[in-house]
């Protein structure tokens, strides 16, 4: 049996999630809730990927012809695109360092989605509100953690 790189990556990912789950079991109750939830989802998803990898199911099978043609039309990833993405990541980190997480999320998500993703404003607004609210609920309300407020100290 020849093991594809995709299946091997899925197996490694599966093992990483299982390891993280086991390590987080030793943590105090308050600290382990969030990692257990995330790693459980990761175990299920990567397990599904491993299962599909061993079944030999191709990810392109069963998709409509129009989607296949769109996938073929997409440009191959090149070095310039990778540097572009690293630049976006560096910009996000710099924004966090200056204005903090809360403002950086509210500013950077719409900027990235509009400039890089060419999404519509209605979708951008909805996605930004949902992402910001989810992060607020998880970190501020559930975990009672104050995220970095940046140099300007914009945290609560």
pLDDT(1) > 50: no
Residues of the domain holding 53: 1-74
54 and 82, same domain (yes or no): no
Residue 154 sits in the same domain as residue 83 = yes
Q: Do 91 and 48 share a domain, yes or no?
A: no
User: Are 151 and 121 members of one domain?
Assistant: yes
Q: How many domains does the structure of the chain reveal?
A: 2
pTM: 0.53
**pLDDT at position 75, please?**
58
Q: Does 140 lie in the same domain as 89?
A: yes
- Clarify whether residues 146 and 117 are in a common domain: yes
| Alpha-helix residue ranges (DSSP H) falling in 100-149 | 101-115, 121-135
Are the C-beta atoms of residues 67 and 121 closer than 8 Å to each other?
no
With beta carbons less than 8 A apart as the criterion, state whether 138 and 34 touch.
Answer: yes
């Amino acid at each position: 049996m020849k093991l594809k790189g995709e299946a091997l990556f899925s197996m490694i990912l599966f093992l990483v999630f299982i390891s993280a789950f086991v390590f987080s079991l030793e943590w105090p109750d308050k600290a382990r809730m969030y990692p257990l939830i995330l790693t459980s989802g990761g175990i299920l998803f990567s397990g599904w990927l491993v299962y599909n990898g061993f079944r030999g199911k191709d990810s392109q099978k069963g998709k409509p012809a129009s989607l296949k043609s769109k996938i073929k039309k997409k440009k191959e990833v090149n070095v310039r695109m990778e540097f572009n993405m690293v630049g976006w990541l560096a910009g996000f980190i710099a924004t966090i360092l200056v204005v903090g997480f809360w403002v950086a999320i509210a500013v950077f998500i719409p900027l990235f989605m509009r400039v890089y993703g060419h999404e519509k404003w209605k979708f951008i607004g909805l996605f930004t509100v949902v992402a910001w609210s989810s992060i607020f609920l998880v970190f501020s309300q559930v975990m009672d953690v104050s995220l970095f407020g940046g140099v300007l100290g914009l945290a609560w």
